[in-house]
Amino acid sequence: MSKRIGMEIAMAAAEAVALCRPDVIAAYPITPNTHIPEHLADIVADGDLDCEYIAVESEHSALSACTGASAAGARVFTATSSQGLLYMYEIVPVVPSMRLPVIMCLGNRAISGPINIWNDHSDYMCVRDLGWISMFASNGQETIDMCIQAFKIGEHADVMLPVLVNLDGFQLTHVVEAMMMPDQEEVDKFLPPRKPFAALHPDNVVSMGTLGLPDIYNEAKKANDEALINSKKVILEIWKEWETMFGRKYEPIMSYKANDADVLMLTMGSMGETAQVAIDELRKEGFKAGLLDLKLYRPFPADELKKAVKGCKNLIVIDRAVMSGGAAAPVCAEVKSVLYDEPDRPVITNDIIGLGGRDVRVEDFIKIFKKAAKAKPERAYEIYGVRG
């Protein structure tokens, strides 16, 4: 039976990962994901989890160790943030190309510089195109759930890909709140032991991470891209199974009061619920406002997005990262690309909010909403609340 608990979300993520019985954890704690690997190290040291915890000297080694262990057939986990992710960057695209289901929690944090330890999505945006399935949690419950789902999705025979569970640094990692924590029996029932497609073993020799010359690289890339695109089918199946088992529904794009909305906002991560409160306020004022919350960023849910915006006149895309010198902020650029061919696409505006830990308040969403309703801005995107 699941138990209602109060706990810091990072620690709860660690407990959820421990319930998945990982064989190997290699991590180098960095703010703000620190408590995830620290608490897992406690759980292993206390003898509550039979797992090899490798205290590595860097993130590059953390993901390298995870890659090796996963290739040997182990169930593996790591966690990082910001500069740590950049330090392991070299290995990040290797993992999906080797089709290894490494699971990683990314405690989203701004990247330097200026040096900043607070939350935004700029770390994730560096790795979004490298082949990992990517989900964004908007509260503690979703963090726990996605951590457990991630193993089942990534290890599925039709997927075999790494999964990134994004949780906003501080805004989620450091908050104590109430969650339903599944018990060991439930997780064991949901998540069987990993059955690797192939594993490094002297009795059954296999070469992994092979060279791809120009005559095969194209085909290898295409195969990986197809695997990522096709993983959505499995993700949806597993989310359905989760809903049946635990009663909590997951969709690539969750909507809130969106059915009859003229104006929709689209957010990702912990902003989602704060934005819901803004939608409630706007509804009270008579605006037909609604919210789309992007839970699955890779593979990008293009069909779901097209369906979700049908009938709405304005779409306000809220980004939490800058795509420097780009055509729009990252989420919006993709949204626009998806909707380009739609005959009655909405007018799309793009605001960047909450960079480097700038607080995101209910009234900020209301202001953005009212501004977008007035006139189309001159620039393709704006950094909301910037002074000057």
Which neighbouring-strand residues pair with 352? 319, 383
Instruction: Report if residue 369 touches another protein, rule: CB under 8 A.
Output: no
> CB neighbours of 13 closer than 8 A, spacing ≥ 6?
36, 79, 105, 143, 144, 147, 165, 167
Q: Which of 78, 80, 143, 171 binds another protein (CB under 8 A)?
A: 171
DSSP string of 313-376, one letter each residue: SEEEEEESS--TTSSS-HHHHHHHHHHTT-TTPPEEEEEE--GGG----HHHHHHHHHHHHH--
Q: Which of 8, 186, 281, 382 binds another protein (CB under 8 A)?
A: 8
Instruction: Give the shortest CB-160-to-another protein separation in angstroms.
Output: 6
Instruction: Report if residue 181 touches another protein, rule: CB under 8 A.
Output: no
Give the three-class secondary structure for 14.
helix
Instruction: Report if residue 33 touches another protein, rule: CB under 8 A.
Output: no
Which residue lies nearer to another protein by CB, 1 or 205?
205
List the structure tokens of 141.
Answer: 């419950």
Site mask, another protein, residues 305-344, x = CB under 8 A?
Answer: ----------------------------------------
List the structure tokens of 44.
Answer: 């292993």
Bond into 93 cis (ω within 30): no
Instruction: Report if residue 129 touches another protein, rule: CB under 8 A.
Output: no
> How many beta carbons lie within 10 A of that of residue 327, not counting itself?
12
Q: Note whether 175 and 168 are within 8 A (CB).
A: no
Give the Cα separation of 105 and 102 in Å (integer).
Answer: 10
Instruction: Give the shortest CB-188-to-another protein separation in angstroms.
Output: 26
Which residue lies nearer to another protein by CB, 45 or 176?
176
Chain positions 190 to 229 lying near another protein, rule: CB under 8 A, are 197-198, 205-210, 212, 216, 218-220, 222-223, 226-227
| DSSP type of residue 110 | P
Q: Which of 10, 160, 253, 372 binds another protein (CB under 8 A)?
A: 160
Residues near another protein (CB under 8 A): 4-6, 8, 31-32, 97-100, 117-119, 139, 160, 170-172, 174-178, 197-198, 205-210, 212, 216, 218-220, 222-223, 226-227, 270-271, 273-274, 276-277, 357, 359-362
